[in-house]
Amino acid sequence: MPASAMKNTSNDPITLIYAGGTFGSYGRPLAPLSADVFLPTLQQLLTEQDNADHLPKIAWHDNTLIKDSSQLTPLDFVHFYQLLLAAYAQGNRRFVLITGTDTLSYLGAFLAEAFAGSDICVVVTGSMRPLLDSEMLHAYNIDAHSDAWDNLTDSLKLAAAGESGVKIGFGGESWPAQTVQKIHSHDLMAFTGHSRAAYPANSYVRDLPDIRRQHWLDDQQEVVGNITVLAEQARIHALYCLPNDTEVMSNQLLALLSQPPCGIILLGFGAGNVPYSETLAESLELAYQKGHIVVCASQSPFGGVSDSYAAGSWQYDHHVISGGRLTIPAIYARLLWLLLRYDSPARRRQRWLNNVSQAGTTIKKR
């Protein structure tokens, strides 16, 4: 498609993609409605409520992958990346993606990494309660006590504004996807985030010139086939620090090192403190030599990690990368994208460190 065909206007419809989750569940006990039942019902409800809620024009996009979000895999994340990429290449720029809440923050952060440098606008949303009222079986009415309708309409209006980037809209708020985490297992205010976002949020272009957009697309499409193959093999592990003998974590780490290069998240105490042992330090050195990327994150939901304490700073002498203020979903997403996008451990590490350096949060090796 010629670059000139990529230009959008504010009158273009919002592309709506449904991917399953609590949003489309119904009945007793709750279970997902099939797409051929739920989607026509949702279309009808949107048509009926259009005038009252002043909704933007909507275009539906076919999606063959509708499943519980707790079952999503790296290959599924790539499916949504490719689905959006193909639509973006055809001139669509504004999207709303409905998915389940279990991995909503992971998927949103991954899409933010994958579309960095573009001018796409994606709002990811879902709900803690189903859209349809199961007290009135077979009537398919909106549940007045659910958060689903408000989350959807708010997200549609946010996408209509067209601000570039990947955001998560939930509970009347919205945040850059990389900052979002789920903080409650059943409350309607289940997510939180913040607006002090660095890369990839700061890489999005407000109005990308046609030629630059086409160059971006060409670069993505050159590797998209290989990404699918790599997604079948991509592995990211998390090692959770507990008050154990240090041998426990050393053994856990060593057990991973026989695998092909993967991503490993160390979930440290507090500001990223990890119990020191000579064996663990040697294991971290070996992980680096074998091409694994080890990133330190905090078990605390807020604040991130730092090298303020000797109890945590020692690991950065052994090639561990600081997760900074990134959430665990954002760290997972970045590791996954690097594993898929770059073909060598050195390039993956360099890319991460370049991104963090641009954000001004690099922890330097002493």
pLDDT score at 12: 86
Question: Quick one: tokens of 163?
Answer: 């601000």
Q: Is residue 191 within 8 Å of residue 126, measured between CB atoms?
A: no
Question: Quick one: tokens of 106?
Answer: 């992971």
Torsion of CA 13, 167, 337, 19, to 10 degrees: -60
pTM for the model: 0.92
- Distance, CA of 46 to CA of 50 (rounded, Å): 6
pLDDT score at 1: 40
End-to-end CA distance of the chain: 50
Amino acid letter, residue 304: G
Per-residue pLDDT tens for 46-70? 888 765 667 888 888 989 898 888 9
Question: Quick one: tokens of 264?
Answer: 């490993």
- Distance, CA of 50 to CA of 45 (rounded, Å): 8
Q: Which phi and psi (to 5°) does residue 303 adopt?
A: 105, -35
pLDDT score at 358: 54
pLDDT score at 36: 83
pLDDT score at 2: 43
Q: Is residue 322 within 8 Å of residue 363, measured between CB atoms?
A: yes
Residues in a beta bridge with 273: 269
pLDDT score at 103: 95
- Distance, CA of 158 to CA of 166 (rounded, Å): 11
Q: How many angstroms from the chain centroid is the CA of residue 2?
A: 30
Per-residue pLDDT tens for 336-354? 999 999 989 999 999 999 8
Q: Point out the residues of the chain with pLDDT beneath 70.
A: 1-10, 50-53, 356-366
Q: How many angstroms from the chain centroid is the CA of residue 78?
A: 11
Question: Quick one: tokens of 312?
Answer: 């945590």
DSSP H helix total and E strand total for the chain:
10, 14
Q: Where are the alpha helices (H) located in 62-209, listed in sequence order?
A: 74-89, 104-114, 148-161
Q: Is residue 84 within 8 Å of residue 111, measured between CB atoms?
A: yes
234: number of Cβ within 10 Å: 21
Per-residue pLDDT tens for 286-340? 999 999 999 999 999 999 999 888 898 999 999 999 999 999 999 999 999 999 9
- Distance, CA of 153 to CA of 56 (rounded, Å): 9
Q: What is the DSSP string of 306-351?
A: -S-SHHHHGGGGGTPEE-TT--HHHHHHHHHHHHHH-SSHHHHHHH
pLDDT score at 46: 86
